[in-house]
Amino acid sequence: MSSVWSGPAEHRGEKAPLRTFLALELPSDFIDEMERGLAPLKAAHEDFRWTPRTNLHLTLAFLGTTPVPAVDQLREVLLPLLREVKPMPIAAEGLHLFPPRRPASVLALGLGAGGADISRLATAIEEALLPLAQAVPLPDFRPSHRPFVPHITVARSGRFYIVLSPEERHLRISAQGIVTRCTFFSSVLQRGGPVYTPLWWWDFLGKQ
């Protein structure tokens, strides 16, 4: 019996696929304000794995396994959409626990202002990428079955699920800023936490 399988990509002279995602970068004044608001939670829950400042972002699309040669192709597909986006004012609103109504492993900050525009952008991006998923291929990229919830993951569970008291759950965290950059990242999962590397980015042009 013969097989076309010839081992992992590296052994076939190709670069190993990346793990990628597209995200909005957060302005530093927004992060400063957000970190101040989160300080009491961080002090009370040292057991959570708090996202380091440099890893904070708002994911628009998680592509997962991505062949290296597709990185430029995806840029060409996404740029026409991103060119239409003006700098976006955003405001933090509310904390989310994911998954909702079950033991939570993610604590995230939601958005008020800017949330609806970001959801529309994420939906347009998904619609642009889905027809390509088989050809590229993007084996991990599938249609989402739930509405997009714009959020910034601020902590993941450590040894235990994330549990907040009712007061903590309703903590008001105010943070505002203007999002000006969308970045295509590769993510390498490491023991000490993921390492995100920008592969390309687009700065939104014009006035908000």
Query: Which residues sit at the interface with ligand 2AM, rule CB under 6 A?
Result: 21, 59, 62, 153, 187, 194
CB of 2 to ligand 2AM, least distance (A): 34
CB of 38 to ligand 2AM, least distance (A): 15
- Give the nearer residue to ligand 2AM in terms of CB position, either 21 or 184: 21
- Give the nearer residue to ligand 2AM in terms of CB position, either 62 or 200: 62
- Give the nearer residue to ligand 2AM in terms of CB position, either 21 or 30: 21
CB of 94 to ligand 2AM, least distance (A): 15
CB of 5 to ligand 2AM, least distance (A): 25
Q: Is 156 helix (H, G, I), strand (E, B) or coil?
A: strand
- Give the nearer residue to ligand 2AM in terms of CB position, either 59 or 119: 59
CB of 128 to ligand 2AM, least distance (A): 17
Q: What does the H/E/C string look like for 167-202?
A: HHHCCCCCCEEEECEEEEEEEECCCCCCEEEEEEEE
Which of 174, 178, 23 has its CA nearest to residue 92? 174
- Give the nearer residue to ligand 2AM in terms of CB position, either 14 or 118: 118
Cis peptide before 100 (omega within 30 of 0): no
Q: What does the H/E/C string look like for 72-118?
A: HHHHHHHHHHHHCCCCEEEEEEEEEEECCCCCECEEEEEECCCHHHH
